[in-house]
A and B are shown apart, each in its own frame.
Chain A
Amino acid sequence: LAKTTQPISMDSYEGQEVNITCSHNNIATNDYITWYQQFPSQGPRFIIQGYKTKVTNEVASLFIPADRKSSTLSLPRVSLSDTAVYYCLVDSGSARQLTFGSGTQLTVLP
């Protein structure tokens, strides 16, 4: 399994765009990049998934460069309620279990 490295924590202010970068130097050809969000005392929640280039949904954007050795989760105009832990996962699309790292604690300040 490709190992992921992401910052332990980040702070931001309300209304700003937040970019969280994840490194996955050993990503395999069949691997997808997936991001989950977790609030305290709740289970993780799927945010976005991509393979290459850019993916956008109603919540976030995911940027993946051509070499796919890193990816960046972009959260537009964050609010206090976006304070959570964000996990970057790299797994084969056929993997049954999810492999989480330690995640990035994002704190949005007023």
Chain B
Amino acid sequence: DTGVSQDPRHKITKRGQNVTFRCDPISEHNRLYWYRQTLGQGPEFLTYFQNEAQLEKSRLLSDRFSAERPKGSFSTLEIQRTEQGDSAMYLCASSSLQGAANYEQYFGPGTRLTVT
């Protein structure tokens, strides 16, 4: 399977702990996105990378959130001092500069975070 993969699929953590999620995009895709989705809502954009450069960050991305994409391959999203409001599905997507335009993004299965 050469789709977008995310790890872990599920994470339960206690309030105040730090968590880190990993995303492996489709190998030839140089654009990578992070979204957050809560129950009953559509995904909300968090941040975007082109290669290793983080080019956009949503206002949703508080200073407790940090994302990296070293070497322009996989990406990590870290949440420090988790709060119950961080409980959500965290989705990663990737797309290519060539071929289809930005609107065709390929999503991974997501990491479901539960903060107790």
Contacts and interface: CB of A to CB of B under 8 A. Distances in A.
B is a partner of A: yes
Interface of A: 32, 34, 41-46, 49, 85, 87, 89, 91, 93-103
Interface residues of B, number: 28
B109 A41 contact: yes
B108 interface: yes
Contacts, number: 67
A96 B42 contact: no
A100 B48 contact: no
Nearest to B50: A96
Given A42-B110, A43-B109, A96 B44 contact: no
A103 B103 contact: no
Contact of A100 (B4, B43, B92): B43
Nearest to A95: B102
A97 B103 contact: no
Interface in B88-116: 91-93, 101-110, 112
Given A41-B109, A42-B110, A34 B103 contact: yes
Contacts of A44: 43, 91, 107
B33 interface: yes
A87 B41 CA distance: 10
Contacts of A93: 101-103
Contacts of A102: 40-42
B103 A89 contact: yes
